């Protein structure tokens, strides 16, 4: 297992962590100040400053992208399906322009929540089948663009409104079904916030293996959690044994970035430099 205690060269910043403190240009400047070598930007942050400018800033700063957030939200009724497909293809193209290592996919929950305006449904089985089919279609496109896709399983509390893929096993079942040869085109993004509770986590990480482990996200689970979406904790402030999960993914050969992704009203209210300094300190002491 890699030693993170001496430096933070394997720290990547998911730019949502400081999205309220500045735009992507300001975040990239702050990364330079703090010696952060990698980011995972969100599409809306890229759109806000323009894709061409984002590409230039990333290149000029010498940043790597540990992922691109995000594609997915595949579940939609018939009226919205082609719009979803086109939007995901654009996400793949943007990720390629930015030089991202993968597109992170949050697959969508029940249609009416994932895609406002879609017809109401209580059929989570149908939603999962739709994810399979839409993902198969996107995979064809992504293969041509040589852009890997990483399915991020989300905690079951998000099954209705964000993702009906809720465990590492489910995500890997999709990988096996759609990319049985393990070509490197499809894998998983594992976020400790979503998977730490899973009794099957360690065997599923072993099942994933190096070629399916495409991204590793860290934050912490606070007790109590006041808001399931926007009350994530800084690493070390909660109950997740982050280091043991990192040990498990690294035992499979994962050697990529440890990406900090914290959606938190509390941290969004702190100055950007303070948040990044704390991220670096916790990366070294806790992750």
Closest approach, Cβ 53 to Zn ion, in A, equals 25
Among 40, 191, 220, 250, binds Zn ion (CB under 5 A): 191
In this chain, which stretch among 53-61, 224-232, 237-245, 255-263 interacts with Zn ion, using CB under 5 A? 255-263
Task: Choose, by CB under 5 A, the member of 201, 245, 261, 280 that binds Zn ion.
Answer: 261
Would you say the C-alpha torsion 107, 180, 172, 66 has a positive or negative sign? negative
* Three-state SS annotation for the chain: CCCCCCCCCCEEEEHHHHCCCCCHHHHHHHHHHHCCCEEECEHHHHHHHCHHHHHHHHHHHCCEECCEEEEECCCCCHHHHHHHHHHHHHHHHHHHHHCECCEEEECECCHHHHCCCCCCCCCHHHHHHHHHHHHHHHHHHHHHCCCCEEECCCCHHHCCCCECCCCHHHHHHHHHHHCCCCCCCEEEEEEHHHHCCCCCHHHHHHHHHHHHEEEEEECECCCCCCCCCCECECCCCCCCCHHHHHHHHHHCCCCCCEEECCCEHHHHCCCHHHHHHHHHHHHHHCC
Q: Which residue lies nearest Zn ion, judged by its C-beta? A: 191
Scanning 77-85, 113-121, 203-211, 216-224 for contacts with Zn ion by CB under 5 A, the matching segment is 216-224
Q: Taking CB under 5 A as the rule, does residue 217 contact Zn ion?
A: yes
Distance of closest approach, residue 148 Cβ to Zn ion, in angstroms? 16
Interacting span for Zn ion (CB under 5 A) from 21-29, 93-101, 215-223, 245-253: 215-223
Taking CB under 5 A as the rule, does residue 250 contact Zn ion? Answer: no
Is the Cβ of residue 17 or residue 112 nearer to Zn ion in the bound state? 17
Per CB under 5 A, the segment of 60-68, 128-136, 177-185, 253-261 that binds Zn ion is 253-261
Residue nearer to Zn ion on the CB measure, 24 or 81: 24
Which range, of 126-134, 140-148, 177-185, 186-194, touches Zn ion by CB under 5 A? Answer: 186-194
Question: With respect to Zn ion, which residue has the nearer C-beta, 80 or 218?
Answer: 218
CA distances 101 to 12, 86, 166, 210, Å, are 12, 21, 23, 14
In this complex, which beta carbon is closest to Zn ion, that of residue 191 or of residue 237? 191
Is residue 220 a contact point for Zn ion (CB under 5 A)?
no
Contact residues for Zn ion, defined by CB under 5 A: 191, 217, 261
């Amino acid at each position: 297992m890699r030693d993170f205690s001496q430096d933070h060269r394997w720290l990547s910043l998911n730019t949502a962590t400081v999205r309220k403190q500045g735009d992507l240009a300001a975040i990239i400047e702050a990364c330079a100040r703090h010696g952060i070598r990698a980011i995972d930007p969100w599409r809306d942050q890229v759109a806000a400053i323009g894709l061409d400018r984002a590409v230039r800033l990333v290149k000029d700063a010498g940043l790597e992208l540990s992922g691109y957030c995000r594609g997915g939200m595949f579940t939609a009724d018939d009226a919205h399906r082609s719009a979803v497909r086109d939007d995901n293809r654009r996400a793949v193209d943007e990720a390629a322009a930015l030089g991202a290592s993968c597109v992170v996919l949050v697959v969508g929950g029940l249609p009416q929540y994932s895609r406002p305006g879609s017809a109401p449904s209580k059929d989570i089985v149908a939603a999962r089948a739709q994810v399979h089919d839409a993902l198969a279609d996107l995979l064809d496109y992504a293969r041509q663009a040589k852009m890997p896709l990483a399915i991020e399983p989300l905690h079951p509390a998000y099954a209705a409104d964000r993702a009906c893929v809720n465990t590492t096993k489910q995500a890997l079942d999709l990988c096996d079904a759609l990319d049985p040869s393990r070509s490197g085109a499809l894998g998983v993004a594992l976020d400790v916030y979503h998977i730490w509770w899973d009794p099957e986590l360690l065997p599923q990480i072993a099942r994933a293996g190096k070629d399916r482990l495409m991204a590793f996200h860290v934050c912490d689970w606070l007790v109590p959690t006041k808001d399931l979406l926007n009350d994530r904790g800084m690493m070390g402030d909660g109950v997740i044994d982050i280091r043991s999960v990192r040990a498990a993914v690294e035992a499979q050969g994962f050697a990529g970035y440890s990406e900090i992704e914290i959606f938190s009203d509390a941290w969004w209210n702190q100055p950007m430099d303070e948040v990044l300094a704390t991220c670096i300190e916790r990366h070294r002491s806790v992750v």
